[in-house]
Amino acid sequence: MNKKANVTISRALQKKAKEFAKQKYVLRLYVAGITSQSKQAIENITRICEENLKDRYDLQIIDIYQQPRLAKGEQIIAAPTLIKKLPIPLRKFIGNMANKEKILFGLDLRPKKE
């Protein structure tokens, strides 16, 4: 491969990286009432999003007791459950969202270097 081809590939990769960095995440967190588990999941996922997706996420919190049809449509079998709708692929996480590394990996994000 010549130098010109390498520059073209490098520019294409940089463009893709910028597009990826601007992707908006659409997340839905299904909780079952106002329990300590629900509160913990809301706090954990909100913190993760603010630290890693600042201004690039839409987080909807849905109480399955108040909106059971939404839970049924998403085939929610446990709560709390987080669903990453966008960017694809769709992913589901169950629990209080305390395992930050697992959530970041599942969202296709790298942990922020401290």
Return the minimum-mean-pLDDT range out of 16-20, 29-33, 36-40, 74-78.
Answer: 16-20
pLDDT given at position 71 = 86
pLDDT given at position 73 = 86
Q: In which residue are the tokens 């909100």 written?
A: 46
- Taking the model in full, what pTM does it have? 0.77
CA–chain centroid gap for 91, Å, is: 8
Residues 6+ apart with CB under 8 A from 105: none
Classify domain 23-106 at the CATH topology level. Glutaredoxin (3.40.30)
Tokens of 80: 């709390």
Residue 3 confidence (pLDDT) above 60: yes
Q: Tell me the mean pLDDT in the region 67-87.
A: 92
| Res. 21 pLDDT band, cuts 50 70 90 | low
pLDDT given at position 79 = 94
